[in-house]
Chains A and B, each alone.
Chain A
Amino acid sequence: MSRIEVLKTYKIFIGGQFPRTESGRYYPLKHNNKIIANMCLSSVKDFRNAVVSAKSAQGSWSGKTAYNRSQILYRMAEVLEGRKAQFITELETQGINTKNAIQEVELSIDRLIYYAGWCDKYVQMHSSVNPVSGSFFNFSVPEPMGVIAVIAPEDSGLLGLITQICSIIAGGNTCVVLASEHLPLCAISFAEVIATSDVPGGVVNIITGKASELINNFASHMNVNAILYCGSDKKVIKTVQDLSIENIKRVIIRENSDYFDAKHDNLYYIFDFQETKTTWHPIEQVGGSGSGY
């Protein structure tokens, strides 16, 4: 008699913990008419809890040294590399062919490495010392926007998800991500990678469920600083834009795209979630002037 396989319960990821949805609801994930998992059908309350976690984690995450954030992203890539086989199997379970599954996992690891490398460099690429007409030291630097709500791409469950997450957290933001509804398995397994890579709890929060149920709350929540919608539905884009106006949430739209394309290795994805801060300070003009020392 063959061994009975242990099946995994896919839960959600909030504040570094793996709770079930507080609503107790689920949706069956099917492939070839077979149920492969019962996914949490997360509620608005789950989303709000996740925002609380993301907000409380943001200060210390952006306060970490850039070098430290870079190493943590690199660590995620290391851990993912070690669990490659699991992710390939999971992609296959969701109906993706082996060749594509292997490529997706490998590109996901490489994309993490790409953004890990930017952590201690992007600031220099966006900063300036401004030659103002007066005796002032004046400089502009990027600063993280804060908490980002993400509707992850529906058709790229791992690579598309990772591209969004790392371009957001590399820049010192924290996020709440709604995983792809029909390709959610890798998102939750990736949460396990996050949880074991020294990423502080709350920096990345991942929930599963239906975008149609949650998107209004993603766009209207007053403690969310920016929303990233990955998709091309014109009606949804307008709704997101409308609801974001109340607290002038920044709206970033990334249309449906082939995430295998190297164009997603993109410095400007980090700047999408940065504000620019300009600081002025007077420069004293006494003593030493005219002297060549």
Chain B
Amino acid sequence: MTKKHTIDFSSDWNLDPAPESTATIKLKEKYDLYINGKFVAPKSGVYFDTINPATEEVLCQVARANADDIDFAVKSARKAYNTTWSKLSGKERGKYMYRIARIIQERAREFAIVESLDGGKPIRESRDIDIPLAAAHFFYYAGWADKLEYAFPNRKPSPIGVAGQIIPWNFPLLMASWKIAPAIAAGNTVVIKSSKSTPLTLHLLAEVIHEAGLPAGVVNIISGNGETGSFIVEHPDVDKIAFTGSTEVGKIIMRSITGTHKKASMELGGKAANIIFEDAPLDQAVEGIINGIFFNQGHVCCAGSRLYVQESVFDKVLQKLKDRLQSLKIGDPLDKNTDIGAINSKDQLKDINKYIEIGLQEGAHIYQPDCVLPSKGFWCKPTLFTNVSQSNRITQEEIFGPVLAIQTFRTIDEVIEKANNSPYGLSAGVWTDKGSKIFNMTTKLKAGVVWANTFNKFDPASPFGGYKESGFGREGGVHGLGEYLKFD
């Protein structure tokens, strides 16, 4: 394709800056751990910086928990489980959770700004997706707390005990709500650890939980690094491990709990196929592809990072994609017009750039739009690769960045084979106007979530989770409730 761009937003249409004001945000200098209903300094006395990835400026410091802190947190969770939470009626548990949902809604704007400051994601996404969905998760599971007997026919449910939960850096508050809400609705107590690069909204969540008056020790919020997480996983009095993160780390966690009584649910990596048939509504499909891979800078485990375009419409789709890429606004995450924000961390940017280099070495053709990246912070242009094959590493491995590998196909059998030829099986997308073809595809794709004529949609009522090496267990819906219950 040699066609010159007809769309150049950077010169034809300059948008005035429309930054969300941070005037109302008062971050503390230091954030402590939240254990046993109190904000406590880490026993190590160690704090680490958390930075704004869009500017590289230090936002504040957060506590790094050590093994003693984790032991204290687990003991507090156990005590709360034994003395209060498991004794409380489901109805009362639910009412606490409704309070949490409401306070998140009340403080939504603050949460959205802090989420974008700490993680680099566009305010449009944190404001419209992360924060409202997080509140919705608490609201949804609050209603389950007194209805557990209806969820699993002919079975008597009871809580598991103390849940240790470890969440990733890409959707901090949302992932915390996916983990905490079903756990405490089912009557468990929780020790949850935020990610090293985006801990702030969990500290705000601790304030919300405190304000809601949740009994001490029911939810304990910990910050720290990977080692801190291992203290949770290895603590003998934890009954259940819930992890969201890479397949690599998931396997390490699984190895450390074999032969123990600990139950696990794992939401791991992905390399989703997004499949465009010639009879698809192409403009909608192109929007879906863009949203599929560039949502949250591609830092999404279910990102549609492998695009399969039917050969007959390949040229058309590629041109539309390039045009659309050119119109994306990259920059200040707090600007309400921004489509693509900052890469979450320096390490992640290094990793993405490594894969772009690998793609080039493998002989793939690269396309990036003309745009100016900010001089400070961590940035990556949205990237398309064509001339790639199934065996290329950029097709096989999870990049976790705004990089799309595009291939073509001719027949349905061929694309099903290619789409399923991956160790991952988290999500997939199909675009066609033909209903019977949709159901043929959605049945045959080996993935836990299949989006047809849409992509990257999430809801508390909708079970989410993977096949194969994308993990096991579901989060969301009645299915997600089962991960935090045991049965006679």
Which residues from chain A sit less than 8 Å from chain B, CB to CB?
125, 128, 130-134, 136, 138, 140, 225, 234, 237-238, 241-242, 245-248, 250, 267-268, 275-282
Contact = CB atoms under 8 A, between A and B. Distances in A.
A278 B268 CA distance: 17
Given A248-B472, A267-B153, 11 more contacts: A134-B457, A136-B454, A248-B468, A248-B469, A250-B472, A275-B448, A276-B479, A278-B450, A278-B464, A280-B449, A280-B454
A237 B259 contact: yes
B359 to A, nearest CB: 26
Contacts of A245: 251, 254-255, 258
Interface string B384-409: 00000000000000000000000000
Interface string B232-264: 000000000000000100110011001100000
A241 B268 CA distance: 18
Q: Give the residue among A125, A245, A279 with the most B Cβ atoms within 10 A.
A: A279
Interface of B: 136, 153-155, 247, 250-251, 254-255, 258-259, 266, 268, 423, 438, 442, 447-454, 457, 459, 461-465, 467-469, 471-472, 474, 477-479, 487
B468 A280 contact: no
Contacts of A132: 457, 459, 461-462
Given A128-B478, A130-B477, A242-B258, A277 B457 contact: no
Given A133-B136, A140-B479, A248-B251, A278 B452 contact: no
Majority-rule SS of A interface residues:
mixed
**Chain A to chain B: the 9 pairs with minimum beta-carbon distance, closest first:** A238-B259, A132-B459, A241-B258, A130-B461, A281-B452, A130-B462, A248-B469, A280-B451, A279-B450
Contact of B459 (A134, A225, A234): A134
A140 B462 contact: yes
Contacts of A234: 259
Nearest to B423: A247
Contacts of B479: 128, 140, 276
Contacts, number: 100
A56 to B, nearest CB: 14
Contact of A138 (B259, B462, B465): B462
A140 B155 contact: no
Nearest to B477: A130
Contacts of A279: 442, 449-452
Nearest to A145: B467
B454 A281 contact: yes
A140 B258 contact: no
A268 B479 CA distance: 13
A214 B136 CA distance: 48
A133 B258 contact: no
21 contacts: A128-B477, A128-B479, A130-B462, A130-B463, A132-B459, A132-B462, A133-B461, A134-B459, A138-B462, A241-B254, A242-B255, A247-B423, A248-B247, A248-B254, A248-B266, A250-B472, A275-B467, A276-B474, A277-B447, A278-B448, A278-B449
A280 B462 contact: yes
Contacts of A268: 155, 487
Contacts of B247: 248
Contacts of B465: 276
B258 A130 contact: no
A267 B154 contact: yes
B448 A247 contact: no
Nearest to B458: A132
Contacts of A267: 153-154
B185 to A, nearest CB: 17
A131 B448 CA distance: 18
A241 B459 contact: no
Contact of A281 (B266, B438, B447): B438
A206 B147 CA distance: 43
